[in-house]
Homo-oligomer: A and B are copies of this chain.
């Protein structure tokens, strides 16, 4: 899995030494690339980062916190396309506009890079170009898996898939600390918040998971979840 990171140059162009990465991070080539200037910004819980169809001026990376990107229908029905967690890049476009809106799920620090500078870096360095393509390709892979979930999986299968995804992406010491509410999960999985809640309760009753609080989940039987996941 790609661990998406972009330049850590400070505003003004002075470099800030990033913590040395132990892994062969695919996106390290972007780090400290000449001419790239990144700044940090904090968004409050539920604050909009950009709107649907807004001009795409920046590319973002989550430093701390969590972000949801989503589309709305005219009557308010919402589909969340992805959750972006620490390290994830979002808001990267090839066209002029953002195709989904982005909001902070909780108080969130993001790093942002001017999109034009990134394009220029890609123009002079084929590795940067390749990395941008890889980020988009990774988002496409996620979307393809999610279409299968939304089109063909049962409610219980969707929740199982969600739990395994969150376990992979944000488990610390075996626990999942969910940043998002039941409504967000429902809008991500194409379900209502009540159905999400009932599915989680049923999995708890079966001993597949433990809920120390509504958003603190302990997976007790990943094998059972993997079976539901197909």
Question: CB-CB < 8 A to A134: which residues of B?
Answer: 94
Secondary structure dominating the interface of A: helix
Q: In angstroms, how far is the closest chain B Cβ from the Cβ of A55?
A: 16
Q: Please provide the chain A residues from 132 to 152 with a CB less than 8 Å away from any CB of chain B in the complex.
A: 132-134, 136-141, 143-148, 150-152
Any chain B CB within 8 A of the CB of A190?
yes
Q: For A227, give the chain B residue with the smallest CB separation.
A: B74
Cβ of A132 to closest chain B Cβ, rounded Å? 6
Residue A130 CB within 8 A of the other chain: yes
Q: A122-B126, A129-B130, A150-B190 are in contact. Are A137 and B77 (CB under 8 A)?
A: no
Residues of B within 8 A of A75 (CB): 230
5 A-B pairs besides A73-B148, A73-B230 with CB distance below 8 A are A73-B152, A78-B152, A94-B134, A146-B147, A151-B189
Q: Can you show 16 pairs from A to B with CB atoms below 8 A apart?
A: A71-B144, A73-B152, A78-B152, A79-B148, A94-B130, A95-B137, A122-B126, A122-B130, A126-B126, A129-B130, A132-B133, A136-B137, A150-B151, A151-B187, A151-B189, A151-B190
